[in-house]
Structure 1
Amino acid sequence: MPISPAALAQLPVRRLGPADLLACADLSENRGWLREEHKWELLLTAGTGYGIDDPEGEGLLACSVVTSYGPGLAAIGMVLVAERYARRGVGRRLMRYVLEETGETPLTLYATANGQPLYEGLGFTEIARAEMVKGRFSFSAPAPDVTVRPATAEDLQDVLRLDREIFGLDRTPLITRLPAFADHLRVAVDGGVITGFAAAWPNMDTHVIGPLIARDTATAQALVASLAEASDRPLRTDIELRHTALLGWLKENGLNTIITNAVMVRSIPDLPGDADRRFAPLTVAAG
């Protein structure tokens, strides 16, 4: 017998942790998403997960993850509701709980076309759009002549300083996980100064490029080309539409549009940092 709306509204929300990884991956699969267990592990250790257990014992009924960057910003991602409970107000209920937990903290998220009306109703506004592209990198269009090399442990402090300058907030807990999380981590260098960095991390059969932080488009292109040379998989990344030159170059090199998402914020007019030098997020789930 279906659970009534009143009963659904009373189901408790609990914190999720690394022990819930497989349940989160199962819920992703249930909604037609990839399982992405490697990404879930990062999100559940670096962020705070929230979930509603299915009272019928079928795993998680719903989940989401919040990645905090201090009082200045938090990112909401992986908002999922099991297919059997879809369109019954569960997603709105979970989001309202998360909003209560985050309080006055400004928020950001990437929204699909299906999810955007829900978020607009909760006070989020669209500030940009981002395009997910994926494909085998063809090397058809050359990369600029920019020095790129593998990152070393000695680069970490310079990478953190550059990231804080461009992202606009301190995300040390995420960036310091990159050497273990990513298969490849590259830095661009000019005159001994690091001018950009990027990672390629494994996600099912692809390598996701992110974060991609660079002083200009040429540097971003060189970083992507270096990561493509190191990878034996199709590449995937999410680029804001404002970066038309980079998107055009990626498409010349064999990557195709998969989906376009809305970049949304709540309680702030725009994201902190420098959008012109912030080319791709580590993952859209973490903002």
Structure 2
Amino acid sequence: MIVMPLSENSLAQLPIRHLTSNDLLACADLSEDRGWHREEYKWGLLLAAGTGYGIDAPDGQGLATACVVTSYGPGLAAIGMVLVAERYARRGIGRRLMGHVLTEAGDTPLTLYATSNGRPLYEELGFTEIAEAEMLRGTFTFAEPAAEPRPGTSVRPATAEDLPAILRLDDEIFGADRTHVLTRLPAFADHLRVAEREGRLTGFGALWPNMDTHVLGPLIAHDPETAQALVASLAAATDRPLRTDIDSGRHSALITWLKANGVDRIARTSLMVRSLPGLPGDDRRRFAPLTVAAG
């Protein structure tokens, strides 16, 4: 396919529009164009729970650039899946889309996970790194037992009756209202587990399908031992490789345990924020995001 050259000024005139579920395949095509997995299942959740932005390619072949913003009220929004088609890369169109998103966000604090390639642009746009995360992947081996949680702690499959308690615990630890995302979790995830002690919910975690893996997230727990118990229970429910993202500074012990069980680092990302010093909530009990694309 021959693409007629367009100036950056011409690209700057292309309209930015909201994406819908009808754009799912175009978003997956854009992922594939940049060497990412298509991840149609994840795109479906993000477009349903968040707001997608995109610019149609002037050659009529799908999207030139896209991203998704997941809002958690006036206190926080997460930016993810920022992609530019290879044939339009390094021509300012991604920066233009990000500028539009920042304008739309106004005073709302923002967060995102950045690769080493994307970090310089985000720093120019006012984002600062607050943590580093390790992306891990591998088949869980059960070679290293989980640490013993506090006496009386049990882990079991979640039921519909657990949802209100999950939402209350998440609001306390995440620090922002994720109701519109988490209420989709029972249908979105293949496995959802809760930990409880003395009749009180002390953690929850999920596995959801993404290509040939199961993504572990979100993972919320009162302490590292409960987090390990949830992971072990979820790992026993699947024969797929696990994939997850863990804060390497705050949760190094969990990362060490995962690596001892065959789940190794495949990449690093920077957790960045704009217009706030750090994320709300309690990062000591927030072990893994649902997906880095949603913060």
Specify if TM > 0.5.
Answer: yes
Structure 2 stretches of 5 or more lacking a match? none
Which digits, 9 at most, give the CA deviation of each residue in 1:23-45, with x for residues without a partner?
Answer: 00000000000100000000000
What is residue 188 of structure 2 aligned with on the other side?
181
Matches of 1:209 and 1:67, distance apart in 2: 19
Matches of 1:151 and 1:286, distance apart in 2: 22
- Pairing 1:214–2:221 present: yes
What is residue 240 of structure 1 aligned with on the other side?
247
One of 81, 84, 95 as aligned partner of 2:84:
81
What is residue 60 of structure 2 aligned with on the other side?
57
- Pairing 1:28–2:31 present: yes
Matches of 1:190 and 1:140, distance apart in 2: 26
Give the secondary-structure state (helix, strand or coil) at the position aligned to 1:55: coil
Given residue 31 of structure 2, which amino acid in structure 1 is its aligned partner?
Answer: S
Matches of 2:94 and 2:164, distance apart in 1: 39
What is residue 119 of structure 1 aligned with on the other side?
122
Offset of residue 120 of structure 1: 0.2
**Identity score, percent:** 72
Give the secondary-structure state (helix, strand or coil) at the position aligned to 1:29: helix
Offset of residue 191 of structure 1: 1.1
Tell me how many residue pairs correspond in the alignment.
287
Given residue 207 of structure 2, which amino acid in structure 1 is its aligned partner?
Answer: A
Matches of 1:144 and 1:243, distance apart in 2: 14
Matches of 1:223 and 1:32, distance apart in 2: 32
- Pairing 1:110–2:113 present: yes
Which digits, 9 at most, give the CA deviation of each residue in 1:63-105, with x for residues without a partner?
Answer: 0000000000000000000000111111111100100111110
Matches of 1:258 and 1:58, distance apart in 2: 32
Given residue 125 of structure 2, which amino acid in structure 1 is its aligned partner?
Answer: L
Matches of 2:146 and 2:254, distance apart in 1: 11
Which digits, 9 at most, give the CA deviation of each residue in 1:103-147, with x for residues without a partner?
Answer: 110000000000000000000000001000000000000013441
What is residue 165 of structure 2 aligned with on the other side?
158
Given residue 136 of structure 1, which amino acid in structure 2 is its aligned partner?
Answer: T
What is residue 289 of structure 2 aligned with on the other side?
281
Give the secondary-structure state (helix, strand or coil) at the position aligned to 2:232: helix
Matches of 2:147 and 2:276, distance apart in 1: 36
Matches of 1:169 and 1:104, distance apart in 2: 16
What is residue 203 of structure 1 aligned with on the other side?
210
Q: TM-score, normalised by structure 1?
A: 0.99
Given residue 221 of structure 2, which amino acid in structure 1 is its aligned partner?
Answer: A
- Pairing 1:9–2:12 present: yes
- Pairing 1:167–2:170 present: no
- Pairing 1:143–2:152 present: no
Structure 1 stretches of 5 or more lacking a match? none
Matches of 2:147 and 2:122, distance apart in 1: 40
Matches of 1:259 and 1:90, distance apart in 2: 26
Given residue 215 of structure 2, which amino acid in structure 1 is its aligned partner?
Answer: V
Matches of 2:253 and 2:223, distance apart in 1: 11
Q: TM-score, normalised by structure 2?
A: 0.96
